[in-house]
Amino acid sequence: MMQKKIGRNDPCWCKSGKKYKVCHADFDARIARAAAQGHIVPTHDLIKNAEQIEKIKESCKINIAVLDYIEKNICEGMNTAQIDKIVYDMTTDMGGIPAPLNYEGYPYSVCTSVNDQVCHGFPSEDVILKSGDIVNVDCSTILNGYFSDSSRMFCIGEISEDKKRLVRVTKECVEAGLAEVKPWGFLGDMGQAVHDHAFANGYTVVREIGGHGVGLEFHEEPWVGYNSRRGEEMLLVPGMIFTIEPMVNMGKPDIYIDSKNDWEVYTEDGLPSAQWEIMVLVTENGHEVLCW
């Protein structure tokens, strides 16, 4: 998308009230140099201003509170429809809207993905959590038009050492990727760190599904993959917000989508998958985790 030409004495596009020449002129020039070198660069609509960031953080507070409550209350014998009800009730009681509900036809307020379900698991009264299960609860919130998104893994009862290790290493993958999020780096720096840590531990990372920009919409550019290389993908600049949410498989990376509902994603080999999701803001000095 072409950027509108701004005069140096015009108000800055970020709505700071400052003149462009003292606000984002040098910033834009640095982005333009990266683009001239062949890099993928963000457009202004992907860069959040201070007011937007504060409103997004308010949405994040609901998302975090809901997942905190689930973390304290999820247990063996609970069915995943109960989790869906908790998410709907808490989110709406706090003034928000569950972002997944009716999104592109998705019929629930949350995704609950158990064991070999990679993502987009349907909550159901028939899916009863039992000892030995691992489950990802993926929660997303709209508050006053601003979006937040994060997910956590939960271990039910006594789980095997293999599953316990998968959950732990997947969280480490997110942390390894996060350490590479810094202004004027690249998404590929983060992606390679995630990929390398997963593969070093004998796991694979799902290729077809990744993270995304978020904040003003549920899913924005850029698409965030984890099979990328350092120095590639989109340039990271202050004000960008996106998710880090690798889906790490115990076995092969291959997946399939349930043909009955066209939503639920499973590992092709039937082995477990794990995912943690955080929402991160690129800052002037590094990054800030907004939602977890």
Compute the radius of gyration of the chain from its Cα atoms. 20
Place 3 in a pLDDT band, splitting at 50, 70 and 90: low
Domain ranges of the chain: 43-291
- Residues 116 and 48: their CA atoms lie apart, in Å, by 36
Among the listed residues 151, 156, 167, the one whose alpha carbon sits nearest the alpha carbon of residue 67:
151
Inter-CA distances, 209 with 120, 249, 274, 283, Å: 11, 13, 13, 26
DSSP 8-state secondary structure symbol assigned to residue 103: G
- Residues 171 and 197: their CA atoms lie apart, in Å, by 10
Task: Give per-residue pLDDT as tens, 82-96.
Answer: 999 999 999 999 999
Tell me: pLDDT of 121 over 90: yes
Inter-CA distances, 57 with 36, 73, 81, 213, 281, Å: 34, 24, 28, 15, 10
- By percentage, how much of the chain surpasses pLDDT 70? 99
- Residue 64 corresponds to which tokens in the numbers above? 């975090």
Q: Taking the model in full, what pTM does it have?
A: 0.95
- Integer distance in angstroms from the first to the last C-alpha of the chain? 31
- Residue 72 corresponds to which tokens in the numbers above? 């304290």
Tell me: pLDDT of 180 over 50: yes
Tell me: pLDDT of 2 over 90: no
Place 1 in a pLDDT band, splitting at 50, 70 and 90: very low
Question: Which fold, 43-291?
Answer: Creatine Amidinohydrolase (3.90.230)
Task: Give per-residue pLDDT as tens, 4-54.
Answer: 688 999 999 999 999 999 999 999 999 999 999 999 999 999 999 999 999
Alpha carbons within 13 A on the beta-carbon side of 258:
14
On average, the pLDDT of the chain sits at: 97
pLDDT value of residue 5:
81
- Beta strand 117-119 with 265-267 is antiparallel
pLDDT value of residue 122:
98
